[in-house]
Amino acid sequence: MIQPRRKRHTGWWLLLAAAVVLAGIAFAIMWRPALAPQAAPPSFDQTSIARGANLARLGMCASCHTPDLARPFAGDKPMETPFGTVHSTNITPDLNTGIGAWSPEAFTRSMREGVSRDGHLLYPAFPYNHYARMTQADIDDLYAYFMTRPAIDSPARDNAMTFPFGFRPLIAFWNVLYLDDTPWQPDPQQSAEWNRGAYLADAVAHCAACHTPRTKLGGPDVKRQLDGGEAEDWYAPALNRNSPSPLPWTRAQLQAYLRSGIALDHAVAGGPMQDVVMHLAQADEADVAALAAWTHSHLAQAPVRRTPAQQDGPLPPPAADDPDLQRMRLGYALYANSCARCHDAGRDQTSGTALPLQKAIALYDPDPRSLLYIVDDGILPPDGEPARWMPGFRAILDDEQAGALAAYLRKYGAGQPAWPGLDKAVSKARAP
């Protein structure tokens, strides 16, 4: 049957109209105006700068923006994401290559909306989806701090994004899904200290950025707050009732850990957490105490379990009827010959405070990566600062040995079911 020509025309026009409307909406979502450059920043008062300094510590800004200790906030740190490699930018007040020409409005917009002064969208590797909930006063203090740092010339490096994520306007859609800038609200049922901790954890220190799992699109999985996530390919454990810690955390342990990276006989910060701890060590003590209070309130919900951590003493050899006896024997020998010297006999005389391994949280993680990285890379102090030290075994143990050791420790150290895909994880951790 021949269609009336009129109807065919209407179908096409409707589609076109819809496309135009959608394009209009998309454009409206993706496009942001440039804000006028500001020649010289106004002066700032010392207390604002001091508060800003503290907030910069709590916000971990240097983690991404200071890869080179000699050039604070000059940026240029490459960060691997599932969408490509992003390089951090220069946030010193350099006029040409930094934020020297940014007005307070431009700075605020970048913190709350992830938009650069000239209108381009910033990748959410920059955790603006957390900073969005900072108070204006805090953002102003941070502005005062950054605008009074020495300017360093450091041009932004091109990112290496997988197609199509190099097209920045697409980030706008991510923002639609994940950018929640409702101002943070205190919980009237909780203490002032807890609320301070809650605010700092969410809006400033952005703990959830690592400790909450992400969706496939890289946004926070809000239904699984603090259920465990990852940072720089390390597994960041759950901080809620699913905490893998074999012994319950006390408030005092957590506070010591956050300030120094060591909770005696309980945990040692490794990997990216070391940087967190270094920042918190330089932040206001009461603020860190508040963070500890808030974090502890979540960790305390983890049920107390019976684990080998409750017993002292060296780890046992494998049972004679172990189905994987050969491998477990190898793992046990490696433990006895490589690890026990520090982790069993104890090295009180050194600064290592090596943990008896049945207490090591990494053994109880659902994911073996943190353990593998600790074994391979060790735990090293920041340049030129006194701290704890564990040497790395990457070149000492081959892949088979590393896998056997991890498998043995998982079973006979933690008493947990085997990690699936362990061998693959070992090779992946060691891939250059």
In terms of CB distance, is 198 or 330 closer to other proteins? Answer: 330
**Contact between 150 and other proteins per CB under 8 A:** yes
Cβ nearer to other proteins, comparing 61 with 236: 61
* Residue 130 C-alpha from the chain's centroid: 12
Closest approach, Cβ 239 to other proteins, in A, equals 28
CB atoms closer than 10 angstroms to residue 219: 16
Q: Contact, 410 vs 368, CB < 8 A? A: yes
List, in order, residues 6 or more apart from 127 with CB less than 8 Å away. 206, 209
Considering only CA atoms, give the Rg of the chain. 25
What's the sign of the alpha-carbon dihedral 303, 368, 398, 270? negative
Q: How far apart are CA 108 and CA 88, in angstroms?
A: 18
Single residue of 236, 283, 328, 397 touching other proteins by CB under 8 A? 397
Least spacing, CB of residue 350 vs other proteins, in Å:
5
Q: Which of residues 306-335 bind other proteins (CB under 8 A)?
A: 333-334
Tokens of 109: 């917009």
391 binds other proteins (CB under 8 A): yes
The count of residues interacting with other proteins (CB under 8 A) is 43
**Residue with smaller CB distance to other proteins, 17 or 345:** 345
What is the Cα–Cα distance from 381 to 257, expressed in whole angstroms?
A: 15
Q: How far apart are CA 372 and CA 377, in angstroms?
A: 8
Q: Which is nearer to other proteins, 103 or 338 (CB)?
A: 338
Nearest CA among 63, 80, 296 for reference residue 201: 296
Residue 386 found at the interface with other proteins (CB under 8 A): yes
- Binding string to other proteins for residues 338 to 357, with x set by CB under 8 A, is what? x-xx---x--xxxxx-----
Instruction: Indicate which single residue of 23, 25, 396, 418 sits in contact with other proteins (rule: CB under 8 A).
Output: 396
Supply the minimum distance, in Å, between the C-beta of residue 348 and other proteins: 8
Q: Going along 188-294, which residue ranges are E strands?
A: 229-231, 234-236, 262-263, 267-268
Q: Which stretch binds other proteins (CB under 8 A): 132-140, 194-202, 203-211, 385-393?
A: 385-393
Contact 156, 162 (CB under 8 A): no
Smallest distance from other proteins to CB 410, Å: 19
Cα atoms found within 13 Å of the Cα of residue 143, Cβ hemisphere only: 22
Of 151, 37, 14, which Cα lies nearest the Cα of 90? 151
| Choice between 201 and 258, CB closer to other proteins | 258
Nearer to other proteins, 236 or 404 (CB): 404
Residue (of 409, 405, 402, 390) closest to 430 by Cα position: 402
CB nearer to other proteins: give 115 or 387.
Answer: 387
C-alpha span between 320 and 341 (Å, rounded): 24
The window from 10-18, 34-42, 149-157, 411-419 that contacts other proteins (CB under 8 A) reads: 149-157
Cis amide bond preceding 37, omega within 30: no
Task: Pick the stretch among 150-158, 160-168, 177-185, 248-256 that binds other proteins (CB under 8 A).
Answer: 150-158
Q: What residue spans of 300-359 are helical by DSSP H? A: 325-334, 340-343
Is residue 387 close enough to count as binding other proteins by CB under 8 A?
yes
Taking CB under 8 A as the criterion, the residue among 203, 237, 401, 409 binding other proteins is 401
280 binds other proteins (CB under 8 A): no
Out of 337, 417, 420, 431, name the contact with other proteins by CB under 8 A.
337
Question: In the stretch 62-101, what mask flags binding to other proteins with x, by CB under 8 A?
Answer: x---x--xxxxx----------------------------
Q: Which amino acid is at 167?
A: F
| Residues with Cβ within 8 Å of residue 115, at least 6 apart in sequence | 32, 109, 121, 122
Q: Which stretch binds other proteins (CB under 8 A): 113-121, 165-173, 310-318, 379-387?
A: 379-387
Residues that bind other proteins (CB under 8 A): 62, 66, 69-73, 149-152, 282, 333-334, 336-338, 340-341, 345, 348-352, 378, 381, 383-389, 391-398, 401
